[in-house]
Amino acid sequence: MRKLFFKNALLPGGWARNVNIEIDAAGMIASVTKDSDAKGRSVDAAIAVSGLPNVHSHAFQRAMAGLAEFDQPGKDDFWSWRTTMYQFVAHLTPDDVLAIAAQLYMEMLEAGYTSVGEFHYLHHQRHGVFYDNPAEIAERIIEASHNTGIGLTLLPVFYAHGDFGGAESHENQQRFINTVDGFARLLEGARSALKTTPGAVLGIAPHSLRAVAPSELRSIIKLRVNGPIHIHIAEQIKEVDDCLGWSGERPVAWLLDHMGVDENWCLIHATHMNGAETDALAKSGAVVGLCPSTEANLGDGVFNGARYHQTGGRWAVGSDSHIRIDAAEELRGYEYSQRLIKHARNVICAEAASTGRTLFDAAVSGGAQALGRKTGALTPGFAADILALDEDHRVLVGKYGDQWLDGWIFSGGKDCIEGVWVRGRKVIEGREHVSRQMIEANFRRCMTDLLAR
């Protein structure tokens, strides 16, 4: 048994002092003892909390962060940004994806995320030419998770059409497109590649209702074994209008009515819902994957968080396009968006509780559910995914308990995190990844070459 000792730790029953955590050979917490004898003990950290799951990632997009921040002809919105993304993705090789994903996952770990849901839809060569190995690029994602130590839930994406009603795909989407049979082969290749990855989870990700026909959606759900199901939905007003034109229903309503949505589902964005959809989704047990920084960057809109919170809805956060990577910033951004709508303070907050604690608890619990991972709590049987906060940081010093979470989320950020363990392995030491120099050097070489093509 490996042992870690923390002066203070957030346990399921609340904050505790002098906490001893024993970790087994598989990286799972074997025992937790509070009020331990601290005499002569080496302290691993002053403040320990569970690591946060990042439920929505398109790894390659980290490399294009900042490349779409210019005024484009006509209406500049999500759809014009998507054109820029298509142009960028056309040049990526599998080795590029490896270097970019490793850099991204390293930054996630330094920012407070200990696991990631990789919504992986870049499958083929340029112009849609298949690789001999259907999981060629998926294997690079897996390798990046190995190189960094982040917990991986791999979500291969099924993408078949260019719009609702089975419309033909566009030329610039060919690197994403699969048939149901092709997707089955991709899943099998990914499943085989993940066998040597401890704690890895394999789910599925129908891209969106506009990219997957109903019959195909039902078919690929049958291919799922035990992992979660993630889908983009209701991110844009145009998407809602187009779905109404196709089916007579709004996207979330259609999904709830036709696909048996339950706790295995994670609906990404769900930005544009009416009240009935919001209430029904909350009751379904599914998780909403919110990506506040990306949603703000793309001008998507603001999620109806206050109503969803009041009806007991489950949610988690992701960094999506990775325009910024900071777990605290995503939580802060979500709360601030609700304050701006409501003209009020402390909106996503349990009664007479800390807002930071409320946000944190919801994100780690909802994130664990969405990624199908046994994580999100410092308790026996859960993965030893742990963040250490710096008690001497200027926004944390002199505080205690939930005030640490409030300080980190609302006044600090990733610079408050001084150490990170994933499945008991320390991957962040002194605020930096243990392999930062090598990973960053590979990324710099990749970007220099990529942007010169």
Is the Cβ–Cβ distance between 122 and 138 less than 8 Å? no
| Three-class DSSP category at 24 | coil
pLDDT of residue 111: 98
In which region does residue 359 sit, left (phi positive, over 0), alpha (psi from -120 to 50) or beta (all else)?
alpha
Contact 176, 448 (CB under 8 A): no
309 labelled catalytic: no
**pLDDT for the residue 25:** 96
Query: What confidence category does residue 453 fall into, taking pLDDT thresholds of 50, 70 and 90?
Result: confident
- The answer on pLDDT for 318 being more than 90 is yes
Instruction: Provide the pLDDT for residue 375.
Output: 97
**Residue 246 reports pLDDT greater than 90:** yes
CA atoms within 13 A on the CB side of 142: 22
Judged by DSSP in three states, 45 sits in strand
Q: Name the DSSP letter for residue 204.
A: B
Catalytic: 269? Answer: yes
Position 279 scores a pLDDT of 98
State the pLDDT at residue 71: 82
Give SS3 for 335. helix
Between strands 425-429 and 417-422, the pairing is antiparallel
Q: Could you tell me what percent of the chain has a pLDDT over 90? A: 93
pLDDT digits (tens, 9 = 90+) for 60-73: 999 999 998 988 77
pLDDT for 249-282, tens place per residue?
999 999 999 999 999 999 999 999 999 999 999 9
- Cβ proximity of 74 and 80 under 8 Å: yes
Q: Is 240 exposed, middle or buried (0-12, 13-18, 19+ CB in 10 A)?
A: buried
CATH 3.20.20.140 fits 52-371, yes or no: yes
- Residue-level pLDDT at 73: 79
Token representation of residue 357: 């604690």
Contact 394, 385 (CB under 8 A): no
- Amino acid letter, residue 129: V
Mean pLDDT of the chain: 96
From the list 44, 320, 361, 402, the catalytic residue is 320
Q: Residue 297 in contact with residue 69, Cβ under 8 Å?
A: no
pLDDT of amino acid 292:
98
Q: Taking Cα atoms as reference points, which of 291, 300, 301, 299 lies closest to residue 322?
A: 291
Instruction: Say which residues have a Cβ less than 8 Å from residue 78's Cβ, sequence separation at least 6.
Output: 235, 236, 298, 299, 300
Band (pLDDT 50/70/90 cuts) for residue 351 is confident
Q: Which entry of 269, 309, 393, 433 is annotated as an active-site residue?
A: 269
> Position of tokens 């989870």?
201
Q: Can you read off the two tokens belonging to residue 225?
A: 């074994």
Q: What confidence tens digit (pLDDT) does each residue in 373-419 have? A: 999 999 999 999 999 999 999 999 999 999 999 999 999 999 999 99
Homologous superfamily of the 2-49+378-438 domain (CATH)? Urease, subunit C, domain 1 (2.30.40.10)
Which neighbouring-strand residues pair with 5? 20
Residue spans per domain, the chain: 2-49+378-438, 52-371
> Predicted confidence band at 352 (pLDDT cuts at 50, 70, 90)?
confident
Sequence-distant (6+) residues with CB within 8 A of 52 are 112, 113, 114, 317, 327, 360, 363, 364, 367, 387
